[in-house]
Structure 1
Amino acid sequence: MDTKKVAFYTLGCKLNFSETSTIARSFKDEGFNRVEFSETADIYVINTCSVTENADKRFKTIVKQAQKTNEEAFVIAVGCYAQLKPEELAAVDGVDLVLGATEKFKITDYLNDLSKNDHGEIHSCEIKEADFYVGSYSIGDRTRAFLKVQDGCDYKCTYCTIPLARGISRSDTLTNVLQNAKEISERDIKEIVLTGVNIGDYGKGEFGNKKHEHTFFELVQALDKVEGIERLRISSIEPNLLKNETIDFVAGSKAFVPHFHIPLQSGSNELLKLMRRRYMKELYVDRVARIKKAMPHACIGVDVIVGFPGETDELFLETYNFLNELNISYLHVFTYSERENTVAAKMNGVVPKNVRSKRSKMLRGLSVKKRRAFYESQLGSIRNVLFEGENKEGYIQGFTENYVKVKAPWHPDLVNTIQEVELTKIDKDGLVRFDFIKEAVIQ
């Protein structure tokens, strides 16, 4: 009997990548052979995202791509969009099976019959039933691993569908996280990125238990002791949950790197209240100042939403000026898009789409300027670079511990190694060139 082949496509966040890897391992355990998405497979699994309008649209394109490669293949949709709008996905031509938030981790249980269906079959729970935790981590895809430590969210931000797609906040046990980290370290993976929906809320148990068994700070302390991990990176953490003790610990840690990604969403307190965020901009200023005092060379990334209902020209400029003056390193800019079943979708003061687009461009321009200024501030410094595995037009790329992206002429011996370098100049493409500190880096 031929070994069945399965291919995966992941849309969205680091958390989705870690879960795709876990789902892929369950296929491997059942005797499937994993192939690239561009190759012919018997089953194509698409892990969906619902954060932006674009992710919704891209899904149909990816299904078409799978069908073009093998029109007889069985196509499965999982992930956030599959939980929120299973009927919509099931109706897409070529989709055979749609699995919701709890079902995606039992995916191989649904593979008794791989015949093509006229209409996608749906197995999707009520989101309140998504009250158990499945640990995940990604390996084999990259130089770094994404380690999931938490899922779901108890926050009620008015623009967000994630609580509807992923359920309540719940966490992995500390024992489990440490075991997963140990498994990753044994595979010669140099960097672990902690991921989740709201990782600063780490410690809440299963079944809606609001009590924290452990805190995020305790998680950080415990992971720092795991042997064999060169780097640990905190992916994205809410400003109100990033405590002084964590910042100070990272500043003194050998494993945790000086890089924080902290969602802001708006530099206007008026809009932060409409968004139901759990802080005002003054707290954000305080967090940035605390990080920079403890680690002047730290990289700080910011999430920001433009075009939220009620965002007048004045309020947008308030955000722009706030970010311009803030000592941050880059922005992730999200253009607001209306999501069904959210409070914001019914709000007054809708911003026209062309205005949203214009504001988005302005902030993306500011991000380029901020990143350039941060890179310039790092020239002349000595940093450690973890090199990635891809040959990009004759160059190898990598990141310093504080997230400066560098490039060097391609050499396979550099892949997945950490090298000490001096940052020397910024190339035309915005990446940084360097000199090796030690002569015999490449044998």
Structure 2
Amino acid sequence: MITGQSHGLWGATASLPPPTLRLADESVVDVAIVGAGYTGLSTALHLGQRGVSTVVVEANEIGSGAAGRASGMVNAGLWVMPAALREALGPVYGRRMLNLLRYSPRTVFDIIEKYDIQCEAKRVGTIHCAAGRKGVAEIEERARQWQALGAPIHILSRDETAAKTGTKAFALSLLDLRAGTIQPLSYVRGLANVAIACGAQVFTHSPVETIIRDRGNWRLKTQGGSILAKWVLLSTDVYTAGIAPELRAGQVVLPFFHVATAPLSPDLRHSILPEGHGAWDTRTPMTAFRKDDAGRLIIGSVGALRGTGTIIHRSWARRRIRALFPQLGKVELEHAWYGRIGTTSDHLPRLHALGDNMIALTGFNGRGIAPGTLFGRELAGYIVGDTAADELFLPFSPAEEAPLRALKEGYYELGAQVAHLPPLN
């Protein structure tokens, strides 16, 4: 359920979702999609445009998983640099993925503009800030690799970075003009509205309990009804429960939290990210920061707001805000929330075939908005036969258990708390 604790500022300010019902009878369709996030709803939208009968079934509410909790930065590419992506995927898939993702934010903003989705969209770019000497080297290399591919990437000097961010904490930064920001929960709800308008059915509060073969098709059973479909797309990522445990087991969960201040005064609001950019730095753990339309400052980092983490991370956020933006003085934190990011060993997504005509896409590694929307379009093309399996953006791979998964997850949650403790005097 979407509450203030689960979705914070986004839940409080998002546009209303489309009216939906629980699945209560049998639906017979071409495609069943499990999960109402970016990828699931984008796939449904693009299938609907082709006249393919589609049902999206969601265990909770639209955007209740990672899609509704994200920072809302619409970035191009993935976390890894282009050269690392090519090395991991090989020359064919590496080139294909880079070509696909190079201008992926355009897909998001074009959908927003075409269908008039009200989600505080700002197509002004994002800023990746260099922290320390190592961060400077990382930013310079990242810029070099993207510029070699013709991307509109610019290195900003210390003074230019300070002018665009409002903080003097960084030696330089990378401005990516392809990117931007959105209100993520409003965007995913807008996708649902568009998918429904294109003919898809969306059912919420209808967790799938079993998926079985039935006369050459797939039958998805919920407590209240069932769906008989030729194709199934599982788009639940690390929020998968029960039906395909291998999808959750194949990833290491990284907790990520956000806090948001009360709306800043007009003068202070203009002193921070005056052009509306979203930003993050190269620190470990990272700091992400942006504003919403009401002038609230939003700051996020690795960590879970539970147990001792609640106090530690909120206190860190106040200190970090003071360090970055001393002009603010003492600030009031109005909202706080956190969620889970599914990570893979090489920081690349995974495409799985779990049976005949049953596929799953996982492992967005914190880059779900633009890639998720774009991958949904590509998966729709594959399902209808426009794209062959060997023409997809990723090869199909088996779902495998992530090594030392539980140990790593505990380490990340505890390690984030240690990293966010106040320094010893």
Normalising by the smaller structure, the TM-score range is: under 0.3
Bigger RCO (CA 8 Å, 6+ sep):
2
